[in-house]
Structure 1
Amino acid sequence: MKINSAGISLIKQYEGLFLITYADVVGVLTIGYGHTGADVKPGLIITQTQADQLLDDDLARFEKGVSRLARVPLNPNQFSALVSFSFNLGLGNLGNSTLLRDLNRGDYAAAANQFPRWDRAGGRELPGLLKRRRAEQALFLTPLAA
């Protein structure tokens, strides 16, 4: 399964686009649309094309991870919300979450209720993270048009 356009838009909106390396709120070096990793060095500058490619590569990794972790059927909005969640928090956090346990028990409503609980970074509640989690929750709960 692939992330849908609503999920990509959500990620782009909340990650923002940075063509020069910056340190996120917990000090992780980041570039492009929230790309992190050993390849991100201080002072690195990339192009829009490179940012788009990094996003595509990162999304493929998170799509595979969500596909592996979720053991129940997901519609494209549910899948995309989980990819956005994982993109921001990491597959390890999704894998160890009550959200995933509820989901894999088939309790989609309980899983959806877990999104807003993930509003902290560096031990602090961040209004921007709560806003993102609510957007992911809304996407997760959005039925597909018939």
Structure 2
Amino acid sequence: MTLSTSAAGRATLMAREGCRLTAYRDSVGVLTIGVGHTGRATLPRVTAGMMISQTDAEVIFASDLAPFEAAVNKAITRAATQNQFDAMVSLAFNIGSAGFHGSSVVRRFNAGDLGAAADAFLLWNKAGGRVVAGLAKRRAAERAQFLIGDPTQCDAACPPASLLKRLWLVLLTLHMTR
């Protein structure tokens, strides 16, 4: 079954990435604009000083998201919940399709070890070879998102509780990343 990112997943990913309408260099020096658009996945190519509208940013984001959804659907060999899929797309969007495909998140998920797959999100906390606090917080939020709806896999970082309490944890983590 082919999944697509849910509306909540898209909104969460947009919040994680942020939206900047003028090109800037990210933490490792890559020109970026809109919602994490680098021009690597889809056009347009990002140039220094480039400016776009909010509508342009949203259109580019929708276009950028499709290849990462396809990459996640191709990489996983077992059924995923919507939240698992959304979290994996968020990771793939940030680390690239090749990085995602070869990741321990995919290997552990495909092996059926959901707890280990969730923990593997936390390994992707570096940029340019160094740990980045913002990435560590993002990975914790993706891990929590992945575990929502699977109380058998929750631990102290994602306590077994009502769905609303777990959603609050995700939102709190997102707030901390800003």
TM range (shorter): over 0.9
Larger relative CO (CA 8 A, sep 6+): 1 or 2? 1
- Deviation by residue 1:41-96 (Cα, 9 ceiling, x = unmatched): 11110000100001100111111110011111001000000000000111111111
What amino acid sits opposite 2:113 in the alignment? Answer: D
Q: Name the amino acid aligned to 2:105.
A: L
C-alpha separation in 2, matches of 1:3 and 1:132: 18
TM-score by length of 2: 0.78
Structure 1 stretches (4+) deviating beyond 4 angstroms?
none
Larger Rg: 2
CA distance in structure 1 between the aligned counterparts of 2:92 and 2:67, rounded to whole angstroms? 10
Provide the TM-score with structure 1 as the length reference: 0.94
Q: Please, which runs of 5 or more residues in structure 1 have no aligned partner?
A: none
- Count of aligned pairs: 145
Matches within 5 A, 1:49-128: 49-128=55-134
CA distance in 2, matches of 1:19, 1:80: 25
SS at match of 2:22: strand
Structure 2 equivalent of residue 18 of structure 1: 20
Counterpart CA distance in 1 for 2:92 and 2:8 is: 15
Q: Can you give the 5+ residue segments of structure 2 that lack an aligned partner in the other structure? A: 151-162, 164-178
2:137 equivalent to 1:135: no
Does the CA contact (< 8 Å) of 1:10 and 1:135 recur in 2?
no
How far 1:10 moved relative to its partner?
2.3
SS at match of 1:44: coil
* Residue matched to 1:45: 51
User: Match of 2:51, SS?
Assistant: coil
* Distance across 2 between alignment mates of 1:7 and 1:84: 8
Match of 1:30, SS state, is strand
Contact kept? 1:19, 1:32, Cα under 8 Å: yes
Among all aligned residue pairs of Structure 1 and Structure 2, give the percentage whose two residues are the same amino acid.
43
Q: Pairwise CA RMSD of aligned residues?
A: 1.3
